[in-house]
Amino acid sequence: MYSIRLNPVYSCPADEIPPTVKLPEGWQLSWHQVETLKALKDPAVDVVFNTAMTGDGKSLAAYLTVLQGESAAIALYPTNALARDQELQVNDYISIFQPPNAPRVNRLSGPELEVFAENENLRKGSAIANRAGQSEVLITNPDIFHYLHRGAYLTSKDNPDKLWNRINKDFDLFIFDEFHVFAAPQVASVLNTMLLIQATNRRKKFLFLSATPSQPLLERMKAAGFRCRLISPADEGKYRFPNTEREAYELEAQHWRQVARTIHLDFVPLEPTSRSSETWLRENQALILHQFLEHPGSKGAIILNSIAAVKRLTPIFRDLFADHGFTVRENTGLTGNQEKIESLDADLVIGTSTIDVGVDFKINFLIFESSDAGNFIQRLGRLGRHDGYQKNGQDVRFDGFKAYALVPNFFVERLFIGEDAVLSDGDVCDRLYFQNLIREKYRQINNFEGYYAKWGMVQSAQICWSLKHQSIESQYAESLKVFQTNCQKVFRGRFGAVAQDIREWKAEWGRTGNPIAEEAGSFRGSSLLQCGLYDLTEPDQRDRFKTYDLPGILSNLEIEMWTKSGFLETLKETAERTGQPIAKGRFGDCLGFMKLRGYREERLDWKFTYPGDLQPIADAWKVQVLARLQIWQPDNPWVGAINRRLQEQALVCYVLRKPMLEVRLRLQLPMHFQIYPISDLNSVHDAIAPYSVAFGQSALLIDTLAHRFKRDGGEMWVV
């Protein structure tokens, strides 16, 4: 184990506050907050990137114009949990700033939209328009934003621009938070939507909040004529990292604001296997408990990559900590709302989500896994943001901040061992230098830059077709020309080639629809492998209705097959009994329905199978639509029921003639990238499946890497 100390971080105050800005008494603004405000007011700026560090008040910077009563904003957050958190934050700002127009804040997610539409007896399109029309701040997710600009939520009698034309006119500012978590397909969707807004409503502002800016994205926006401004406190020398208390005192006297405290960070080198972190946590329960016994008032979080690992570990730590009067809760994508609320009062939270950690759930102790450099930096940024918290009306002050990073041993070697070592045990670092080391030395993942040229303009073509609709064609004739020109600049392609591709996919499919074009036109991709789960481990009955992907179920869950009718009838009965509506739209296209009884102690092996020869399919080196796929998992008694449904599905996929682990390594795929082992009729009994398959958007992403490989006798290597 190697240890370093990270110095605290102080953020520079603004040189001066514009005289028109009204602040609550005693409030000050940071340099980046005022610069963001200036940029949003500058008529020569369209797009603003704020790359302030985690915890440095980017959210306040985003809403300053709203809090001055000067604009209305749509804010887009990648998860519903983050949207809920930000709704509370914005309402707190409004109560403190007291803007003259008393802006109304509303939040809209898929489930909420469904329930709202049902309660108001409205179609979804009318429900969106209704909610948007009653908002100065509309908080939603980029999925809804994407689909309303693609003509979703409308009837065949509606004009294609019925929703987006009104919304784009009513709101002045479009905020994209946590933008670094978006993959290339989502970034392409955002770019297409921005280009549509630019072509039809030219005087709009776009604000991107992310601690990890994307230079290629910035260049693409500039190519389309967007006038961009980058606000980077790090590049402008607006952060300081004092080594001594005297230096910190002097900064505070000059009104520099502390945004991160001193952190003592230990690197725990582990074998890069799926269970290594879980094993270490089981073996070091006493070490973790020691933190809470020796440092009264501690609050801690364990952030892992695997939901199943969290589910297995939580009861172990819950029992151990209960013996000493401490509470343990969980926070994952499968955790119910009530459990998440109760987790804010726990002493230790174990989860995969970082939404509340370091914000509402203030911590001084952190153990975390990570999958790449950005993930490492983001999770470590949850720690050291607060001096303490309140308990029963009393202030509790932390006496220090400690973190354990559970990382692959090869990463620790790159940092600390050998002639090329960049750190020594016991070193003291400033945060920016350390983050640059992490980005340089940690596992590099593929950014799929080729996606934009290959697939980005499929969405562009779909938008063009909607603008040519006879009901609006004359209105948007000039806008269409602008949109087409800018799309070709941004995506560096030609509409003629895209149209030809779309025709070829349709001809090859030969049936109703065009699955490949539909996949490329979606925001997050299809979910044909998604199953409905009734979670019997969830204490709150309203939170038992969940969705989960089939591969995760096969690996980690103990389930019992159920019928769709049984699932939906139970959902209806639960909603009636509790008096609380439960959205059911997400279950409409599920592959199957199951009762979740528990989580396996050991992952089970499985693979996809194809009842034919996969070699010609793999040798085609292109995205295809396949049917008749099945699951091979001999000891699983319910696989037959799933296979009867699965083999009927037409799945957009890309098949590679290499084992899955080799493909993951060679293509530098992200940890949770959806690629799986698959065998054919000739290899079903091989110990290691000789092929790998990616579905949906993952298939499109794999396709963008094909041009980077040479093929020689079936061998592949990066050029």
Give yes or no for residue 365 having a pLDDT over 70: yes
Domain range holding 97?
9-236
Q: What are phi and psi of 404, to 5 degrees?
A: -120, 120
Weakest-pLDDT range from 214-228, 247-261, 308-322, 513-527: 214-228
In a domain, 492, yes or no: no
CB neighbour list of residue 587: distance below 8 Å, 6 or more residues apart: 532, 545, 547, 564, 567, 568, 571, 593
In a domain, 511, yes or no: no
The last residue of a domain, from among 385, 419, 441: 441
Question: How high is the pLDDT of residue 152?
Answer: 86
The token duo for 269 is: 């080198």
Give yes or no for residue 717 having a pLDDT over 50: no
CB neighbour list of residue 338: distance below 8 Å, 6 or more residues apart: 539, 540, 543
Torsion (CA) 538, 543, 547, 553 in degrees, nearest 10: 0
| Rounded Cα distance, 354 and 178, in Å | 12
SS3 at position 299: coil
273, 201: one domain: no
pTM for the full predicted model: 0.91
| Rounded Cα distance, 161 and 520, in Å | 21
In a domain, 521, yes or no: no
362, 265: one domain: yes
CA atoms within 13 A on the CB side of 707: 9
Question: How high is the pLDDT of residue 715?
Answer: 53
Question: How high is the pLDDT of residue 26?
Answer: 87
What's CA 359's distance to the chain center, in Å? Answer: 17
Question: How high is the pLDDT of residue 355?
Answer: 64
Name the pLDDT band for 710 (thresholds 50, 70, 90). Answer: very low
Residue position matching structure tokens 């925001």? 523
569-615 pLDDT per residue, tens: 999 999 999 988 888 888 988 999 999 999 988 888 999 999 999 99
Mean pLDDT for the chain?
90
593, 701: one domain: no
The last residue of a domain, from among 403, 419, 441: 441
In a domain, 468, yes or no: no
Mean pLDDT of the 296-321 span:
94
The token duo for 59 is: 């959210």
| Rounded Cα distance, 459 and 482, in Å | 16
In a domain, 652, yes or no: yes
First-to-final CA distance of the chain: 37
93, 159: one domain: yes
In a domain, 478, yes or no: no
* Burial (CB count <10 Å: 0-12, 13-18, 19+), residue 230: middle
Question: How high is the pLDDT of residue 712?
Answer: 43
Strand ranges, E, within 122-188: 137-140, 173-177
214, 179: one domain: yes
- In the chain, the number of structural domains is 4
| Rounded Cα distance, 652 and 515, in Å | 7
Give the whole-number percent of the chain exceeding pLDDT 70.
97
Q: CB of 698 within 8 A of CB of 673?
A: yes
CA atoms within 13 A on the CB side of 292: 23
Question: How high is the pLDDT of residue 342?
Answer: 77
| Rounded Cα distance, 627 and 648, in Å | 6
664, 559: one domain: no
634, 578: one domain: no
Q: What angle do CA 449, 455, 461 make, to 5 degrees?
A: 135
| Rounded Cα distance, 383 and 18, in Å | 33
Q: CB of 691 within 8 A of CB of 612?
A: no
Q: Judging by DSSP bridges, how do beta strands 348-351 and 328-331 pair with one another?
A: parallel
| Rounded Cα distance, 304 and 450, in Å | 30
Name the pLDDT band for 633 (thresholds 50, 70, 90). Answer: very high
The token duo for 234 is: 């790090």
Question: How high is the pLDDT of residue 212?
Answer: 67
- Return the higher-pLDDT residue of 62 and 213: 62
Q: What angle do CA 425, 427, 431 make, to 5 degrees?
A: 130
Q: CB of 287 within 8 A of CB of 26?
A: no
In a domain, 640, yes or no: yes
| Rounded Cα distance, 362 and 380, in Å | 13
Question: How high is the pLDDT of residue 708?
Answer: 57
What region does 381 belong to: left with phi over 0, alpha with psi -120 to 50, or beta? Answer: alpha
Query: In DSSP terms, which residues pair with 36 in a beta bridge?
Result: none
> Which is nearest to 46 in space by CA: 135, 172, 212, 210?
172
| Rounded Cα distance, 572 and 110, in Å | 18
Query: Running DSSP on this structure, what letter comes out for residue 454?
Result: I
179, 30: one domain: yes
Weakest-pLDDT range from 56-65, 106-115, 240-249: 106-115
| Rounded Cα distance, 534 and 541, in Å | 9
Question: How high is the pLDDT of residue 5?
Answer: 97
Cα dist. 273→269, 337, 406, 661, 668 in Å? Answer: 12, 31, 12, 12, 16
209, 297: one domain: no
| Rounded Cα distance, 551 and 607, in Å | 9
| Amino acid code (one letter) for 324 | H
Strand ranges, E, within 241-385: 257-260, 263-270, 300-303, 328-331, 348-351, 365-369
276, 223: one domain: no
Residue position matching structure tokens 């896994």? 369
Q: Judging by DSSP bridges, how do beta strands 675-679 and 691-695 pair with one another?
A: antiparallel
Give yes or no for residue 716 having a pLDDT over 60: no
Query: In DSSP terms, which residues pair with 140 in a beta bridge?
Result: 76, 108
CB neighbour list of residue 81: distance below 8 Å, 6 or more residues apart: 340, 353, 355, 356
> Which is nearest to 258 in space by CA: 498, 8, 37, 51?
8
- Return the higher-pLDDT residue of 6 and 355: 6
Q: What is the CATH number of the domain that holds 417?
A: 3.40.50.300
97-156 pLDDT per residue, tens: 999 888 999 998 888 788 777 776 678 888 888 888 899 999 999 988 999 898 888 888
Helical H runs in 171-239? 184-200, 215-223
82, 214: one domain: yes
Question: How high is the pLDDT of residue 718?
Answer: 42
In a domain, 489, yes or no: no
531-550 pLDDT per residue, tens: 999 999 888 888 899 999 99
| Rounded Cα distance, 696 and 515, in Å | 9
Question: How high is the pLDDT of residue 707?
Answer: 56
Helical H runs in 368-427? 373-380, 409-416
583, 700: one domain: no
Helical H runs in 399-528? 409-416, 431-441, 451, 457-467, 477-491, 495-509, 515-520
| Rounded Cα distance, 85 and 178, in Å | 13
| Rounded Cα distance, 662 and 640, in Å | 29
| Rounded Cα distance, 665 and 661, in Å | 6
Annotate 39-71 with b (16+ C-beta within 10 A) or e (fewer). bbbeeebbbbbbbbbbbbbbbbbbbbbbbbebb
CB neighbour list of residue 331: distance below 8 Å, 6 or more residues apart: 339, 340, 343, 349, 350, 351, 352, 353, 355, 356, 357
648-694 pLDDT per residue, tens: 999 999 999 999 999 998 898 988 899 999 999 999 999 999 999 99
Weakest-pLDDT range from 389-393, 611-615, 694-698: 389-393
Give yes or no for residue 343 having a pLDDT over 90: no
The last residue of a domain, from among 186, 219, 236: 236
The token duo for 250 is: 């002097």
Q: CB of 177 within 8 A of CB of 209?
A: yes
Sign of the dihedral defined by the CA atoms of residues 177, 179, 182, 186, in that order: positive
Query: Running DSSP on this structure, what letter comes out for residue 240?
Result: E
SS3 at position 411: helix
